[in-house]
Amino acid sequence: MADGSLEKPAHLRPADTSAAGWLAQRPAGLAAGILGLLSFVVVAISQGQLWATPDWRITVPGFVLTAAAACVSVARRETRAYPLWLLGVGLAGAALVLGWFLMVAIVIGVTAILMLILHALM
C-alpha cells in the first residue's frame, strides 16, 4: 500500500477453480458426502449375507449423521453443493436397505445387458 496501489475487493479477485478449493468452500456438503460413503462401506463390509437386512444399529446413525450434515449444508446455503450431499444421503439411504438395493441393482443390470444383447441380435 505504500506505493499508492489499491487491492481488489474479494469479489473481484480471481476465483480458485481447483477441485480442492471448490471442496474447501463447501465443508458441510463434503462432510455429508464422506459420511454417506463411509456409512455405505461400513454396512457393506459388516453385513454377513448380501440379501439380508442390515443391522439398524449401524445404518440408522450413519443415515442420521449424513442427513444432519446435508441439512447444515442447505442451511449454510453452500452454492452448488447439492451433488455432494445428495450423493451422501443417497448412499446412506441405500445402506439402510442394502440387501434390497443390491438385488434390484443386479436385476436391473442383467436386464440392461440382455436388452443390449437382444438388440444387437435382432
Query: Comparing 36 with 13, which gets the higher pLDDT?
Result: 36
Q: Which of 86, 28, 98, 27 is nearest to 59 (CA)?
A: 98
Q: Average pLDDT, whole number, for the chain?
A: 89
Evaluate whether residue 69 is within a structural domain.
yes
Evaluate whether residue 76 is within a structural domain.
yes
CA–CA gap between residue 66 and residue 41 (Å, rounded): 14
% of residues, the chain, pLDDT over 70? 95
CB neighbours of residue 67 within 10 Å: 18
Residue 101, pLDDT score: 87
CA–CA gap between residue 79 and residue 26 (Å, rounded): 8
Query: Are the C-beta atoms of 119 and 64 separated by less than 8 Å?
Result: no
Is the pLDDT at 1 greater than 60? The verdict is no
Query: How many domains, in total, are found in the chain?
Result: 1
Burial class (CB in 10 A: 0-12, 13-18, 19+), 42: middle
Is the pLDDT at 69 greater than 90? The verdict is yes
Which residue has cell 454417506? 36
Query: Are the C-beta atoms of 29 and 82 separated by less than 8 Å?
Result: yes
For the whole model, what pTM was predicted? 0.75
Range of the structural domain that residue 40 is part of: 12-121
Is the pLDDT at 8 greater than 70? The verdict is yes
Evaluate whether residue 4 is within a structural domain.
no
Evaluate whether residue 6 is within a structural domain.
no
Evaluate whether residue 7 is within a structural domain.
no
Residue 70, pLDDT score: 95
